Amino acid sequence: MRLSIIAAGRLKPGPERTLAEDYLKRAQGLGRGCGISRIAVTEFNESQASSAAQRLTEEGRLIAAARPAKAFAVALDERGKALTSADFAGLLRRHLDGGTGDVAFLIGGPDGHAPAIREDAQLIMSFGPMTWPHRLVRVMLLEQIYRSITMVSGHPYHRG
């Protein structure tokens, strides 16, 4: 299975990027052993359009174009479903066991996701009801992917 993280907004050099790269490297290394052949991050600049509707449309087009065909899509949004770490690991395990080829995690810009992205997503997931900046969401998502891989593979990282 291949995992994709598709994000509006680029991580600049700094602590968030360092953490994101660390969790990505860990997840890639351990993921190969449990059937995750690739974890890729695609990022692009946030739209600079003058209206929120235009920004959502532009970013939505970029996200849709970067999403692998037939991928199970998870849109991250504060209005989505909050999962426990065990639930998130269960989601990855079900897709691994079920032979899903691609799972794509979609991170919108400051205005959120275009309606078409939300409608096409098979799951809208939240890291809680608070609004988080995309650079922290990326770190939290990569940490949860790594945590899930450790849970699936029996690694002792997750002790909850």
Q: Where are the strands (E) in 12-156, listed by range? A: 38-44, 72-82, 102-107, 123-126
Cα-to-chain-centroid distance, residue 142: 7
DSSP string, 100-114: --EEEEEE-BTTB--
**Residue 160 in this model has a pLDDT that exceeds 70:** no
Instruction: Report d(CA 58, CA 48) in Å as an integer.
Output: 9
Q: Coil, strand or helix: which one is 38?
A: strand
Q: What is the mean pLDDT of residues 64-70?
A: 96
Residues in the chain: 160
What is residue 129's predicted lDDT score, i.e. its pLDDT?
A: 87
Q: What would the pLDDT profile of 6-55 be if each residue is shown by its tens digit?
A: 999 999 999 999 999 999 999 999 999 999 999 999 999 999 999 999 99
